[in-house]
A and B are shown apart, each in its own frame.
Chain A
Amino acid sequence: MGKYIVKRILLLIPTVLVVCILTFAMMRMLPGTALDYMVKRLTAAGQAVDVESLRVRLGLDQPALVQFFTWMGGVLRGDLGNSLFQYESVGEIIGRELPVTIQLGFMELFWTILFAVPLGVWCAARQDGVPDYTFRVFAIIFMAVPTFLVASIVLVYPAAWWGYAPNIKYSGIFQDFGANMRMFLVPSVIGALAQTGMQLRMVRTCCLETMRTDFVRTAWAKGCGEWRVLIKHVFRNSMIPVVTVIGGSVAGIFGGNVILENLFNIPGIGQQLITALDQRDYTVIQGCVLVMAIIVMLINLLVDICYKWLDPRVEID
């Protein structure tokens, strides 16, 4: 097991390298450079711009390959470079904003699992009953209605009717836990809705499939009660495909929920990335993509380890 994990982590290196090259290349291939944006903004502000000296200052006068190796060299020393637009290093930006996004993501995941798994099992156990139909209908609705719509409704109507608005003043989770939770509760629940709908249906389908298997019939024939059959025999066997889907969606969650971050004023990395993309802030984008790629790959590794733990038939080496 330990050997396997080490091997997988070593395999991360070439993958990360490819991600870096691709990000770097794609950013340079986009029409419009950081320089263009900067010149435009400065001119609009009525300042005289010396384009050439600005180009040198940003290091854009170097050939692309030199720029890449300069940046990679920094990365290897643990320095992600400085933002071209903000007076901050990329490391600082990520360190400040990524944890916020991860917190939102984890809370969404928490709600998703908390509701989707037990409700999905219940729906399967009482297939075609009233709760089953009810939850399935809601699952479809949650999946169909876009997040921005739900978020807008939640922001507008309670405020108009009862004068209530969710807290949109950010405080860190370690500074003021209560205020932090009050801020994250609503957006994380909204973000979890679509996921919950999808996972609930997934859990339900997988459970139903497992309930029809021979070994579940064996469990009944042994004299297991319904709960025992569901928990000991159905549940664990039906979690294998569910973990795959949840693992896949985690990557999306940590990619930053731009809409929710925007609407609820959450200072996460998603919003930062959009701005950086707009400005062609090369270092910020490269740094963010690099860190996120590593996180996503580590999560995939975690999912694979989960398989082994869930299903003894999986040969991990």
Chain B
Amino acid sequence: MSDNILEVRRLRTSFFTDTGELRAVDDMSYSVRRGEFCAIIGESGSGKSVSALSVMRLISYPPGFIKGGEILFDGRDLMGVSDKEMQAIRGSEIAMIFQEPGTALNPVMTIGAQIEENIRLHERGVSREETARRTAELLELVGIPDPETRLKDYPHQFSGGMKQRAMIAMAMSCRPKLLFADEPTTALDVTVQAQVLEQLNDMRTRFGTSLVLITHNLGVVARYADSVKIMYGGRIVESGSTDDIFIEPAHPYTMGLIRAVPRLDLPRSHGLYTIEGEPPDMSKTPPDCCPFHYRCPYADERCGKERPRDEEVSPGHVCACFRRDVAKAAWKGADA
């Protein structure tokens, strides 16, 4: 059995729109180790959510289509399994939590019924009482007080944070091996965000689930994640352990992201750093270039003509950039 619960190789997912093909995920490869807390960071539109939805094969055609690649989950190629098998995997072995807890729960079903549905879908022959008991237990685990009563409530009777906790309980109800959390705290109050993340991390360790957290919150990543993947323009431009990424960033985009984090230790006059420009339009960006070259301060001619290959910076730390050395020197210089 391999060390990796998930291996994605050269995944390509496109959306076919009126303006042409939009390559949302463009040749993306990564792996997640068993029990790992892995973070995928990127701007809106960088293909983070689409990559997760692709692994779950939840891209609807039309307009979306997984054009190619391999998705090895627990040794099985998910691209090759039938729809029926995929249904059995979803919700039991791979689960997902979405961004907006307000809209991600069915408004006309009770919270309890929605969690119970997940259990009953995947575990035949579990009695109604047993499912109800387990649901209450799960709600208690995610910190919902008085769970036996609350599971009869409808989503609109829950607060945003409680809805997201219920989503976590639902996702964890079958003890999945892998959990995607797609910006689970973005829609929540800042005070609630930390609690929900703590809960998520707690449930993950309790059930031994590997977690892929999709976010653009670097603070959260630095605190919890074991490894980080930086996504830009539908690919992973840099990946490595959290320390590698935060202390020794190799890609100019990663450096930009880290510099853009507001710092309390610098004087107010310092101002906020921003990466100039906009994320690339993936229906117009040619495949044979570095998607960041439009905004990269170090870009040269080659960056616009050729696609940088992944190169190992140090063991386990991979970066795809031609101008790594120049960027590194500039980063070191700014640091000093």
Contact = CB atoms under 8 A, between A and B. Distances in A.
Interface of A: 213-215, 217-225, 228, 232-233, 236-237, 310-313
Nearest to B93: A223
Contact of B108 (A219, A220, A237): A237
Contacts, number: 68
Given A312-B154, A313-B154, A313-B156, A221 B95 contact: yes
Contacts of A232: 109, 117
B170 interface: yes
A236 B156 CA distance: 16
A215 B154 CA distance: 13
Interface residues of B, number: 27
A218 B121 contact: no
Given A312-B154, A313-B154, A313-B156, A221 B56 contact: yes
A223 B88 CA distance: 6
Given A217-B58, A312-B154, A223 B121 contact: yes
Summarize B's interface: helix, strand, loop or mixed.
mixed
Contact of A217 (B104, B108, B121): B104
Contact of B103 (A215, A221, A236, A312): A215
B98 A214 contact: yes
B105 A218 contact: yes
A213 B60 CA distance: 13
A126 to B, nearest CB: 13
B168 to A, nearest CB: 13
A217 B50 CA distance: 13
A221 B91 contact: yes
A213 B103 contact: yes
A227 to B, nearest CB: 11
Contacts of A221: 56, 58, 90-91, 95-96, 98
Nearest to B99: A214
A215 B91 contact: no
Nearest to B86: A223
Nearest to B52: A221
A221 B313 CA distance: 36
By Cβ-Cβ distance, the 4 closest A-B pairs, closest first, are A223-B91, A223-B90, A222-B91, A214-B103
B190 to A, nearest CB: 22
Contacts of B98: 214, 217-218, 221
B100 interface: yes
Nearest to A235: B108
A310 B88 CA distance: 30
B118 interface: yes
Given A222-B118, A223-B122, A236 B108 contact: yes
A29 to B, nearest CB: 48
B28 interface: no
Contacts of B156: 312-313
A218 B104 contact: yes
13 contacts: A214-B103, A215-B106, A217-B98, A220-B90, A221-B58, A222-B118, A223-B91, A223-B92, A224-B87, A233-B106, A237-B107, A312-B108, A313-B156
B203 interface: no
Contacts of B106: 215, 218-219, 233, 237
Contacts of B104: 214-215, 217-218
Interface string B115-154: 0011001100000000000000000000000000000001
A220 B87 CA distance: 8
B89 interface: yes
B105 to A, nearest CB: 6
B121 A311 contact: no
Nearest to A312: B154
Contacts of A237: 106-108
Nearest to B170: A222
Contacts of B89: 223
A221 B92 CA distance: 10
Contacts of B103: 213-215
A218 B264 CA distance: 38
A218 B118 CA distance: 10
B181 to A, nearest CB: 12
Nearest to A225: B87
B111 to A, nearest CB: 11
A310 B105 contact: no
B58 A312 contact: no
A310 B121 CA distance: 24
A316 to B, nearest CB: 14
A217 B170 CA distance: 14
A111 B98 CA distance: 41
Nearest to B94: A221
A225 to B, nearest CB: 6
Nearest to B174: A223
Given A222-B91, A313-B154, A313-B156, A215 B118 contact: no
Interface centre among A215, A310, A312 (most CB of B within 10 A): A215
Contacts of A223: 87-92, 118, 121-122
B220 to A, nearest CB: 22
Contacts of B100: 214
Given A221-B56, A222-B118, A311 B87 contact: no
